[in-house]
A and B are shown apart, each in its own frame.
Chain A
């Protein structure tokens, strides 16, 4: 039964996928990533069967949240003692641990599953492009990004910026610079003591 054995092995073997989180929404990305963690992309899927794959996510430091979410999205914690509640803005959490936002987004999407901790153990998060070689050798597939990586203003050359069509030209004596406000740091009113960086 050697033939059946290897066929079964091929069905049950865990594939390793890679995902580039550069300028991707962590919430929509996590939705796509947990599909692979749970094995929902396989026709043999069953919620109680442990057939999920491994996912390697890199560039988690460069995830992008839409709108005002870096300030308004909160991560909560409760120690289960009286007064043990604490919360922190997303940017604060990201400052402390650049993989935390992605990890938490995936973990919350897996809520309700008895196997969520097992599945989370198969999620490998790296803040930057450096991935250990032994991990990278396992990888054999790529997960499609959820959104197109936008081009930043710095990536355009000076020539392209100059040649970009304009509706009107500022008058030569028009003062643009003095109207720009200084980048004031946001007062972090909603981060409680536990999360404060001193």
Chain B
């Protein structure tokens, strides 16, 4: 038997026994928030840690998505108080080049309701202007209930 290095040779005679107490400490650091015996028993900790780390891997990517959902919910709730739909609100802000992200919008909805209200008013005004520029402008001169081909074309082009 040929030993290529000194370490490989020594391994035959001296195998250091690793102290488990350090590992125990590390495990305790990872399980301080668990419930029951999984928190303190070494043998039960092992599986629980493995499971929690597996979850942590999954959540690392999905957390951002969930946080984003909460932002959307909050903005939608703020919009609903002023009678604006979430989708039209965000679309209008995008079209008018108001570069506020969802995080800031949601915190505005919570902590600065007046600022958020003014944004909603802006969106509503934009919407009415658009309506008057498009469909309403073509409908106005004709009697109600009549739709001509010209009107349809006009709306279609606008």
Contacts and interface: CB of A to CB of B under 8 A. Distances in A.
A45 interface: yes
Interface string B64-83: 00000010011101101100
Interface stretch (B23-31, B106-114, B144-152): B106-114
A44 B110 contact: yes
A47 B77 contact: no
Given A43-B106, A43-B109, A45-B73, 7 more contacts: A40-B73, A42-B77, A43-B75, A43-B81, A43-B110, A44-B74, A45-B77
A8 to B, nearest CB: 12
A43 B74 contact: yes
B123 to A, nearest CB: 16
Contacts of A46: 70
22 contacts: A40-B73, A40-B77, A41-B77, A41-B80, A41-B81, A42-B77, A43-B74, A43-B75, A43-B77, A43-B78, A43-B106, A43-B109, A43-B110, A43-B113, A43-B116, A44-B74, A44-B110, A45-B70, A45-B73, A45-B74, A45-B77, A46-B70
- A contacts with B: majority SS: loop
A44 B109 CA distance: 8
A71 to B, nearest CB: 37
A47 B109 CA distance: 17
A197 B116 CA distance: 56
Interface of B: 70, 73-75, 77-78, 80-81, 106, 109-110, 113, 116
A44 B116 CA distance: 14
A195 to B, nearest CB: 38
Nearest to A47: B70
Contacts of A41: 77, 80-81
A40 B113 CA distance: 16
A141 to B, nearest CB: 12
A40 B75 CA distance: 10
Nearest to A44: B110
Contacts of B70: 45-47
A41 B77 CA distance: 5
Nearest to B73: A45
